[in-house]
Amino acid sequence: MPHTPEPDARRAWISVLAKAPPAQLAGLMPDLAPHTCLRPPEIGTVMVQGRAGGTGARFNLGEMTVTRCSVQLACGTVGHACVQGRDKDHARRAALADAMLQTDAGPELEAGVLAPLRHAAAAARAARAAKAAGTRVEFFTMVRGEDQ
């Protein structure tokens, strides 16, 4: 039974699925539920844009490889994916998960796939941030007396 998910929730899970390491996603979701491919996995690029000065006018920085895919479940629910890189299985799995998350299978997938992915991503981010924090410089300044 398809639901209409909150756009923010869908936005968030599409992002989690896209950013997941393909092998990890495949490990959490080994079997693919029956589906038809509306758009078979297709490799292409997205032009990444930046802004002059970080905040100013947009400019084209360069492209990145992406793979996109759209699938449909038997109940008619459609799922989309656009993931970084050239892994077609990743794109198909992410699209399928997007579709299933909009159905009654959602909560199960949320707990079994999204939660572990979120957890792993947060852990990886925290580990990297901790390493960076370890290289943060702690200055101490000598008192020279000129302010007295």
Q: Which residues bind other proteins (CB under 8 A)?
A: 7, 10-11, 14-15, 18-19, 42-66, 68, 70, 80, 82-86, 125, 128-142, 144
Cβ 117 to other proteins shortest distance, Å:
13
Token pair 């901790």: residue: 130
Give the separation between CA 65 and CA 121, rounded to whole angstroms. Answer: 21
Buried b / exposed e over 45-80, threshold 16 CB at 10 Å, is: eeeeeeeeeeeeeeeeeeeeebbbbbbbbeeebebb
User: Which is nearer to other proteins, 31 or 136 (by Cβ)?
Assistant: 136
User: Which is nearer to other proteins, 68 or 93 (by Cβ)?
Assistant: 68
User: Which is nearer to other proteins, 86 or 119 (by Cβ)?
Assistant: 86
The alpha carbons of the chain give a radius of gyration, in whole angstroms, of 21
Backbone φ and ψ of 65, nearest 5°: -80, 140
Cβ 135 to other proteins shortest distance, Å:
4
CA angle 70, 71, 76 (to 5 degrees): 125
Cβ 30 to other proteins shortest distance, Å:
23
Cβ 89 to other proteins shortest distance, Å:
15
User: Which is nearer to other proteins, 34 or 145 (by Cβ)?
Assistant: 145
